[in-house]
A and B are shown apart, each in its own frame.
Chain A
Amino acid sequence: MFTIPEFPALQEAVSRATEAEIVQALHSERPGLAGLAALLSPAAEPHLGAMAKRSGAITSQRFGRTIQVYAPVYLSSFCANRCAYCGFSADNIMERRVLTFAEAEREAMILHQRGFNHLLLVSGEAPAKVGVDYLEEIALRLRDRFAALSIEVQPLATEEYARLFRAGITSVAVYQETYDREMYKQVHLGGPKADFDYRLESPSRVAAAGMREVGIGALLGLSDWRAEGLALGLHLAWLRKQYWRTGLTVSFPRMRPAQGEFKPLQPVSERNLSQMIFALRMFDPDVGLYLSTREEARYRDGMIGLGPTRYSAGSCTAPGGYGQEDAGGEQFEVGDSRSLAEVSSAIQKKGFDPVRKDWDAVFQIRGDGQQAA
């Protein structure tokens, strides 16, 4: 079982780096956890330029001059949890909706026509409305038309993940939100999500179920981002050891304005975010790194080639929002509202290839030649 050290101990580790340790980490092939702590430290800030350079070089080497593009489909705005920072929190009065199968299919096909081949299916955490049966049905309906389907929904049991894998889901993201147990308690006011440990073990269950890829992340703005970065490194390293067949990714959701007017408790600047991305890239050269449309176009364009390997584009965070412009009820406001074509052309301008297909549903079908289900 993965256990996370107490947060103050992580904070202590990222605060005491010496100049020599930082320089060593910068020049090391495998900086390790001590190196990661050094690169996340305040003392490493003056080295941001050198970190960007190393991070970019490693990323090119491992991923080539390519960036994968994808789009999210929001399936439902119902949620059983009361997370202080989220627009979907059960505490917020808003019109809620869950897409019917036909509506979900329609949303997906709009994205298909816009050129998307990789989809991320997202929902609030309401197992009664969006349970594993619902997700399975959607996967079965979409699997033959998309190269890859990922989900970001409530944590599930291992057997449920395995079922979704057979139905065509390739990867699962479960963000811990914060690895700071105290802060976790403070912002998760009610609902099943309040169980820190069950959530912490979710990525292991995803991997144990045979999923191709598992995504982890911390919501930036809740607690000390430097210590969150070190926690992410620990989590990655542990998952790599336990589940060597599973691909790993990290996302960096920075808090966005949302209904409920929650203000970030510990603001994270673009410089901070960049430092975190570069440090994790140097720590794990092979991890896939996401940069979503939460960030502004200017920043996203600037980061092309420096570390992130996956960009979302043309995103709408309201269920039904692609087919219906004024659907309302978004989870948060996006910072980059450009279309796939616009984001792709920005990627190309930087000398990178926006890759729309880097998977094939055929990998997913179990058994010899026969389709499952």
Chain B
Amino acid sequence: MLTIAGRKFRSRLFGGTGKFSSPEVMKAALEASGCEMVTVALRRIDLNNPADDIMRVLDRDRYLFLPNTSGARDANEAMRLARLARASGGGEWLKLEVTPDPRTLLPDPIETLKATEILVKEGFKVLPYMNADPILALRLQDVGAVAVMPLGSPIGTNQGVLTRFQIEIIISQAQVPVIVDAGLGAPSHVAEAMEMGADAVLVNTAIAVAGDPVRMARAFAMAVEAGRIAYESGLGAVSKDAAPSSPEDGLGFLR
């Protein structure tokens, strides 16, 4: 079981709600994924409107609702959005995204740290989306982030865990859960992240734009599970030299 800020999750796959062909397909894919936490872009939903397309199909008892601040260019905008969401019943969990470059959507480390610090003091449970920078992960943890969400590669690129060496360092140091987010384009990518010891992964685009999003969601769920079991079972070490099956081969001269 994964615990974040005192809340337990059976599934280590977190879902998204953007880019789906319809709210109904989104709902079916989320169900097939088995996920218990879903992120929702605050800019896409109308929190005050129960007939809002996304809110209508999302069962708030079934999923932990993780509003995100996508679209925010700086700490102020993100904080404003967070407060507004909480005031209209969005809860205190927050995926903090501060992405000043609308093209790459890469997170701004300085503004992200600033906003995390303030929002934590205001009582939010902040999960910051961040570049895979180990020191930044520690700094975010120090100011009270309840998890960190380093990117595997730029959002929507499907390139997998290109930031592998940094994520390995983050995992080895973090005291809060590490959720690999963004760029995970195939089940094999999430299996890789989970084998490395990530606590969870968040997948949106790869499921939403798949030919069959529902079956793809299932494939991702299985890969997350496989990767986690492999990690817990202890993977063999990687070596460039062939390992002799009898370790004593060639040592017959020893007395």
A residues sitting closer than 8 Å to B (CB atoms) are: 60-66, 147, 212-213, 240, 244-247, 286, 348, 351-353, 355, 357-360, 362-363, 365, 367-369
Residues on the B chain within 8 Å of A66, using CB: 18-21
A351 and chain B: residue at smallest CB distance: B21
Residues on the A chain within 8 Å of B43, using CB: 147, 357-360, 363
Is the beta-carbon distance between B71 and A63 smaller than 8 angstroms?
Answer: no
Q: Which of B63-87 contact A (CB under 8 A)?
A: 71-73, 76-77, 79-81, 83-84
A59 and chain B: residue at smallest CB distance: B209
A348 vs B23: C-alpha distance when bound (angstroms): 11
Is the beta-carbon distance between A245 and B100 smaller than 8 angstroms?
Answer: yes
Nearest first, the 7 closest Cβ-Cβ pairs linking A and B are: A64-B19, A65-B21, A247-B102, A360-B43, A286-B103, A351-B21, A60-B209
A244, A246, A357, A363: the one contacting B46 at CB < 8 Å is: A357
Tell me if B91 is interfacial: C-beta within 8 Å of chain A: no
Is the beta-carbon distance between A352 and B77 smaller than 8 angstroms?
Answer: no
Distance of A208 from chain B, by nearest CB (Å): 15
Sample of 20 further A-B pairs with CB below 8 A, known A64-B18, A357-B43: A61-B209, A63-B19, A64-B19, A65-B208, A66-B19, A147-B43, A245-B100, A247-B103, A351-B22, A353-B20, A353-B21, A353-B23, A359-B71, A360-B42, A360-B81, A362-B81, A363-B43, A363-B72, A365-B80, A368-B80
A246 vs B77: C-alpha distance when bound (angstroms): 15
Q: Which of B43-62 contact A (CB under 8 A)?
A: 43-46, 53
A247 vs B23: C-alpha distance when bound (angstroms): 26
Residues on the B chain within 8 Å of A357, using CB: 43-46
18 A-B pairs with CB atoms under 8 Å apart are A60-B209, A66-B18, A66-B19, A212-B102, A240-B103, A245-B73, A245-B101, A246-B102, A352-B21, A353-B22, A353-B23, A357-B46, A358-B44, A360-B42, A362-B81, A363-B43, A368-B76, A368-B79
B75 and chain A: residue at smallest CB distance: A368
Tell me if B33 is interfacial: C-beta within 8 Å of chain A: no
B residues sitting closer than 8 Å to A (CB atoms) are: 18-23, 42-46, 53, 71-73, 76-77, 79-81, 83-84, 100-103, 156-158, 205, 208-209
Is the beta-carbon distance between B209 and A64 smaller than 8 angstroms?
Answer: yes
A61, A212, A365: the one contacting B156 at CB < 8 Å is: A61
Residues on the A chain within 8 Å of B77, using CB: 363
Distance of A372 from chain B, by nearest CB (Å): 12
Residues on the A chain within 8 Å of B71, using CB: 359-360, 363
A366 and chain B: residue at smallest CB distance: B76
Is the beta-carbon distance between A245 and B102 smaller than 8 angstroms?
Answer: yes
Residues on the B chain within 8 Å of A65, using CB: 19-21, 208-209
A62 vs B103: C-alpha distance when bound (angstroms): 10
A150 vs B84: C-alpha distance when bound (angstroms): 23
Is the beta-carbon distance between A362 and B84 smaller than 8 angstroms?
Answer: yes
A358 vs B208: C-alpha distance when bound (angstroms): 17
Distance of A291 from chain B, by nearest CB (Å): 18
Distance of A215 from chain B, by nearest CB (Å): 13
A369 vs B45: C-alpha distance when bound (angstroms): 20
B213 and chain A: residue at smallest CB distance: A65
B83 and chain A: residue at smallest CB distance: A369
B26 and chain A: residue at smallest CB distance: A353
Residues on the B chain within 8 Å of A244, using CB: 100-101, 103
A33 vs B42: C-alpha distance when bound (angstroms): 36
Residues on the A chain within 8 Å of B20, using CB: 64-66, 353
Residues on the B chain within 8 Å of A240, using CB: 103
A357 vs B19: C-alpha distance when bound (angstroms): 13
Q: A240-B103, A244-B103, A358-B43 are in contact. Are A62 and B156 (CB under 8 A)?
A: yes
Distance of B84 from chain A, by nearest CB (Å): 5
Q: A353-B23, A359-B43, A363-B43 are in contact. Are A369 and B205 (CB under 8 A)?
A: no
Is the beta-carbon distance between B80 and A348 smaller than 8 angstroms?
Answer: no
Most buried by B among A65, A147, A244, A246: A65
Residues on the B chain within 8 Å of A245, using CB: 73, 100-102
Distance of A340 from chain B, by nearest CB (Å): 14
Most buried by B among A60, A358, A363, A367: A363
B18 and chain A: residue at smallest CB distance: A64
Residues on the B chain within 8 Å of A367, using CB: 76
A247 vs B73: C-alpha distance when bound (angstroms): 11
Distance of B195 from chain A, by nearest CB (Å): 26
Residues on the A chain within 8 Å of B45, using CB: 357
A213 vs B22: C-alpha distance when bound (angstroms): 26
Distance of A195 from chain B, by nearest CB (Å): 30
Is the beta-carbon distance between A64 and B101 smaller than 8 angstroms?
Answer: no
Residues on the B chain within 8 Å of A353, using CB: 20-23, 53
Distance of B41 from chain A, by nearest CB (Å): 8
Q: A65-B209, A352-B21, A357-B45 are in contact. Are A363 and B81 (CB under 8 A)?
A: yes
Is the beta-carbon distance between A369 and B19 smaller than 8 angstroms?
Answer: no
Is the beta-carbon distance between B80 and A64 smaller than 8 angstroms?
Answer: no
A363 vs B73: C-alpha distance when bound (angstroms): 9
Distance of A292 from chain B, by nearest CB (Å): 22
A357 vs B21: C-alpha distance when bound (angstroms): 15
B46, B84, B102, B205: the one contacting A64 at CB < 8 Å is: B205
B23 and chain A: residue at smallest CB distance: A353
Most buried by A among B43, B77, B100: B43
A244 vs B246: C-alpha distance when bound (angstroms): 59
